[in-house]
Amino acid sequence: MLTTKFAAVLVFVTASFLWTTTFWYCKTHFYRDPGSAFYDEGRAFTRFYSSVRENQANVFLEVPAGLTKASKSASLCASFQSLAILSALEGLSLQERADIYVSAFIAYTIPEEHPSWHNKTLHGLLDDFHSYNSSSTQLETIQVYEKTHNYERKGVSDYIYGLEHCLNETQAPWIAMFEDDIIFADGWLAYTLSTLADFEAKIKSKTSGPHELLFLRLFNQERTIN
């Protein structure tokens, strides 16, 4: 009888320990996952690694380490519709920097009003720093979007403008569009180009099915997961 009770207590204690440990693990590891039952909105957006990368980017701006510009055979044209660019450049080797054409698009109809337009250091780091073509027939339409705060329509126009600029100014086989305030992880370019190379290899080896890629999302958040 005593042995049976002891066994029951042991099972209960063990089960309680395992349940508590599992609960603790899930609560401390899955709080950032919006699809998890342990998602904690109050802690999900706490910045850890992002703060480290942001500090590294700020140091990089002060001492840009003599990076070169893109070569004529760059693999990727990166069009930025924000100025969250420094973390994308920080940590790149000279070979990696030569393999990416970095274009910053100031989406102001009067670009001189943007504080970064006059930043000579930033100009020196990029391959291209541009705004709207003043002779463009679309400029008046975009000015209307600005005045009426129609950011949805203006955002589409900005995206198209940045995409066309990469197509017209470079021979890069791939174009990446970046917007909003994003922080790049160290090694992002190597991972991206490696993935694209794997994709190209798979496409070349396929005998049937689709042989082209139109769109690939690099960054996901809870608003884009369904």
**Each residue's pLDDT tens digit, 102-122:** 998 888 888 888 878 888 888
Which has more confidence, 91 or 34?
Answer: 91
Q: How confident is the model at residue 226 (pLDDT cuts 50, 70, 90)?
A: very low
Q: How confident is the model at residue 195 (pLDDT cuts 50, 70, 90)?
A: confident
Query: 83 and 116: one domain?
Result: yes
Domain membership of residue 142 as a residue range: 68-224
Question: Residue 53 CB: number of other CB atoms within 10 A?
Answer: 20
Query: 25 and 118: one domain?
Result: no
User: CA-CA distances (angstroms) from residue 31 to 21, 28, 90, 162?
Assistant: 16, 6, 29, 36
Establish if 60 belongs to a structural domain. no
Mean pLDDT on 32-53 = 83
Mean pLDDT on 138-143 = 80
Query: 196 and 113: one domain?
Result: yes
Q: Which two tokens stand for residue 49?
A: 């690694």
Which has more confidence, 210 or 125?
Answer: 125
Statement: the pTM of the whole predicted model exceeds 0.85:
no
For residue 207, is pLDDT > 80? no
Query: 192 and 105: one domain?
Result: yes
Convert the pLDDT of each residue in 64-92 to its tens digit: 666 678 988 899 999 987 667 888 998 89
Establish if 200 belongs to a structural domain. yes
Please enumerate in sequence order all residues whose Cβ is within 8 A of that of 145, keeping only pairs 6 or more positions apart, or say none. Answer: 151, 153, 154, 157
Establish if 113 belongs to a structural domain. yes
Q: Is 64 within 8 Å of 125 (Cβ atoms)? A: yes
Q: What is the reported pLDDT for 214?
A: 63
pLDDT > 70: percent of the chain: 85
Calpha distance 124→136 (Å, rounded) = 26
Calpha distance 42→51 (Å, rounded) = 17
